[in-house]
Amino acid sequence: MIYALEVTIKSLPFLLEGALRTLQITSLAVLLGLIIGTFVGMARLSKHKLLRYPATVYVEFLRGTPLLVQIFIIYFGLPAVGLNIPRYPSGIIALGINSGAYIAEIVRAGIQSIPKGQTEAAKSLGMTYWQTMRYIILPQAFRNILPALGNEFIALTKDSSLVSVIAIRELLRSGQIVISRTYQSFAVYIAVALIYFVMTFIMSRIVRWTEKKVTVS
Amino acid sequence: MNKFESEPILIIKDLWKSFGNLEVLKGINLEVYKAEVIVVIGPSGGGKSTLLRCINHLEKYDRGEIWFQGELVDEKSTDMNKLRTKIGMVFQQFNLFPHLKVIDNLTLAPKVVKKIDENSAREKAEKLLKRVGLVDKMNEYPTKLSGGQQQRVAIARALMMDPVLMLFDEPTSALDPELVGEVLEVMKSLAKEGMTMIVVTHEIGFAREVSDRVVFMDGGVIVEAGPPEQIFKQPQHPRTKEFLRKVL
Ligand SMILES: Nc1ncnc2c1ncn2[C@@H]1O[C@H](COP(=O)(O)OP(=O)(O)O)[C@@H](O)[C@H]1O
Ligand SMILES: [Mg+2]
């Protein structure tokens, strides 16, 4: 018991390094997801079928298939057709493409939450679709969806543990490495869980704070 | 000299519009001359807003022609965004941009649409805000302003684009009664300076005092049109009479 605790404490710096990598991967994935999600979310609301249908297929497919399978397709599947993407980018891309589908739905709801009068006022001043989106709709929409995006970040922090299967040394993988050396699986997995919890707990507090700020104004 | 000697700046010919099965405009004909102030009155649902929205093409119409400044406005050949810079619109619900300060509400479109530099845009905005009596509010956010102040900002915002025609869709209907006057004052001064205006309103006093012509719309058609004295004192059509009995 004492030994298990000792081992865990000793391995803490190594685990925290993994946690940092988890945050890094999640941040980059959310950033990618945000870019994808913004365009796909807009395309979902387009009056052109050629934009709307592919966007719908994207969202439905990525939300309707397991993230683990998506990771395998990108890391193990793509090389089979001649496209080799290194480990880390693979993980980030898989997570980013996946969260892009969820963020697209958030963005879509955000855009729809802005009253029609805003678009009409912008149009009546001669602004194009892109100018209206860029200066009027998206800034207001993003303000409204900030809490939802925060929750997506939290969800992805946890989901990012799945990329441990392609040997990316994030938090879970770091824990497994410690266990393979020390055999203290119970204590180390508990420590890993606690670190995830501390991270998501802090994040959810921040989300709650932004929620209040958004509703106040 | 008669101020309406020249060509009309807006000609609407046989304009038809329906939403699904609902026919909202059924053959509207209207000519608007430079510096003319037209007031459109009529019962709710008569198609007044739809008519205004067809003029700046916020709404597509089904049939008919709209000529603006001697050119046929056409979906295929006309740049609608460019057209809209010449037609200002003021909405019942103001529709200010809540995430931008008053000053930025005014300067945004000139900057991004007309590529006017920041300094000239600000200078012009301050001038217009002075004119509507709100230069001291320029760094406020719109939600901090009263309805009357918001609507005055909205008018100034539309004027930033130097429109040749201004459309007002019930600009005072959402306001508390004590705030209506300040908005009408701004509109009156605009009319005096020779702005061409089409105003949908229930403010009969404004129509009497300011308009050159009153148009009574009901059921998607222009039932009757003429100078305010004629429409208000000697309406010809029974529907006009009935409507005026209710509002006067
Ligand atoms: N976007 C729309 N879709 C369906 N019906 C509409 C739409 N806009 C207006 N209408 C209908 O068209 C009719 C005329 O509306 P409107 O032009 O707003 O009249 P007014 O401004 O004179 O009150 C109303 O019956 C209204 O319900
Ligand atoms: Mg109306």
Name which of B84, B99, B143 is nearest A125 (Cβ-Cβ): B84
Nearest bound ligand to the CA of residue B59:
1
pLDDT at B1: 41
- Give per-residue pLDDT as tens, A113-158: 999 999 999 999 999 999 999 999 999 999 999 999 999 999 999 9
Q: Is B236's Cβ below 8 Å from some Cβ in A?
A: no
Average pLDDT over residues A77-92: 96
| A139–B109 C-beta distance less than 8 A | no
Band of the pLDDT at A212, cuts 50, 70, 90?
confident
Are B113 and A126 in contact (CB < 8 Å)?
yes
Q: Give the residue from chain B lying closest to A129, CA to CA.
A: B81
| Closest in A123, A126, A139 to B58, CB measured | A123
Centroid of ligand 1 to alpha carbon of A113 (angstroms):
22
The predicted model scores a pTM of 0.91
What is the atom index within ligand 1 of the atom nearest the CA of B46? 22
pLDDT tens sequence for chain B (248 residues):
455 567 899 999 999 999 999 999 999 999 999 999 999 999 999 999 999 999 999 999 999 999 999 889 888 888 999 999 999 999 999 999 999 999 999 999 999 999 999 999 999 999 999 999 999 999 999 999 999 999 999 999 999 999 999 999 999 999 999 999 999 999 999 999 999 999 999 999 999 999 999 999 999 999 999 999 999 999 999 999 999 998 87
- The alpha carbon of residue A125 is apart from the nearest alpha carbon of chain B, in Å, by 5
Strand-by-strand arrangement of the B221-226 sheet: B87-90, B165-169, B196-200, B37-41, B213-218, B221-226
Cβ of B112 and A123 within 8 Å? no
A-B contacts (CB, under 8 Å):
62
* Pocket-testing residue among B19, B40, B55, B61, ligand 1, by greatest number of atoms within 8 A of Cβ: B19
Q: How far is the CA of B44 from the centre of ligand 1 (A)?
A: 9
pLDDT of res. B6: 76
How far does A104 lie from chain B, in Å, by closest CA? 22
Of B88, B113, B158, which has the smallest distance from its Cβ to A131's Cβ? Answer: B113
Residues with a CB atom less than 6 Å from ligand 1: B 19, 22, 24, 42, 44-50
How many residues appear in chain B?
248
Interface pTM, i.e. ipTM = 0.94
pLDDT band per the 50, 70, 90 thresholds, residue A213? confident
The whole-angstrom distance between B94's CA and the closest CA on chain A is: 8
Q: What is the mean pLDDT of chain A?
A: 96
